[in-house]
Amino acid sequence: MSPCTESIATVDLAITSRRSVRAFLPTPIPRRTVEDILEVASRAPSGTNIQPWKVYVLGGEAKAGLSRKILDAYNDPACLAQHTDEVSSHPTEWVSPYIDRRRKVGWDMYNLLDIAKGDSAQMHAQRGRNYDFFGAPVGLMFTIDRIMPRASWLDYGMFLQSVMVAARARGLHTCPQGAFLKFHRIVMEHIAAPAGETLVCGMSMGYEDVAAPVNALVSERAPVAEFAKFIEVPGQSR
């Protein structure tokens, strides 16, 4: 295998093996490893090199304390009703094929967990696992200055993908989590973020618990022919 082919295979594997893992081992991750991942990810592109990302890395009691605060609110219906997303992670109107994909991945996950349709208690408990970072030893909170435009959020998405791919290159897995947006007030106070920042998402990071049934979930992807249109591009299709 030529060096070029090896490089292609390595990069492709880091991207294609990335999954949203929802059960982690408690195995610690050295701070230096997280720093290396963030340093690599910082090479993500951003318009005029503004680099709009800000990251808060939580471990130990800092992470556990945030989990307790959010779960206390999540499990109290009266308190839960007082929390709403500042930035919605979902469209205002669901249409096909997006709603179909969302439903399928949701039910695929619940089937792996043996959670029956309509079992609201078990669904509530599983959603609550988000706030325990699915047992991961490292939790990350990503924020952005409120003044930044929509284009900066596009830049941020490329940074987040770079974080997840760099983690895979080191044998780690991640789960990006919009679930934290509902509790943005709790999160931002806990991490002492300035008032000018807003929460983008959270993320769990650690080693996958391969024995956990939920981690057998591999979400489907549409084929290239379904989402790409080639205009005057020579050559045969695959």
pLDDT in tens, 147-185: 999 999 999 999 999 999 999 999 999 999 999 999 999
Closest CA to 168 of 30, 2, 20: 20
* Percent of residues, the chain, with pLDDT higher than 90: 92
Spatial neighbors of 159 by CB under 8 A, at least 6 apart, are: 41, 42, 44, 46, 53
What domains does the chain contain, in order, with CATH numbers? 24-137+149-227 (3.40.109.10)
pLDDT digits (tens, 9 = 90+) for 60-69: 999 999 999 9
Cross-strand pairs, 201: 142
pLDDT digits (tens, 9 = 90+) for 29-47: 999 999 999 999 999 999 9
Comparing 41-50, 168-177, 198-207, 229-238, the range with the smallest average pLDDT is 229-238
Q: Is the pLDDT of residue 209 over 80?
A: yes
DSSP string covering 83-136: ---SS-SS-SS--TTHHHHHHHHHHHHHHHTTPPTT-HHHHHHHHHGGGGGGG-
pLDDT at position 236:
83
pLDDT digits (tens, 9 = 90+) for 84-119: 998 887 888 999 999 999 999 999 999 999 999 999
What's the Cα-to-Cα distance from 140 to each of 2, 185, 191, rounded to whole Å?
37, 16, 10
The DSSP 8-state label assigned to residue 23 in this structure reads -
pLDDT digits (tens, 9 = 90+) for 16-25: 999 999 999 9
pLDDT at position 2:
67
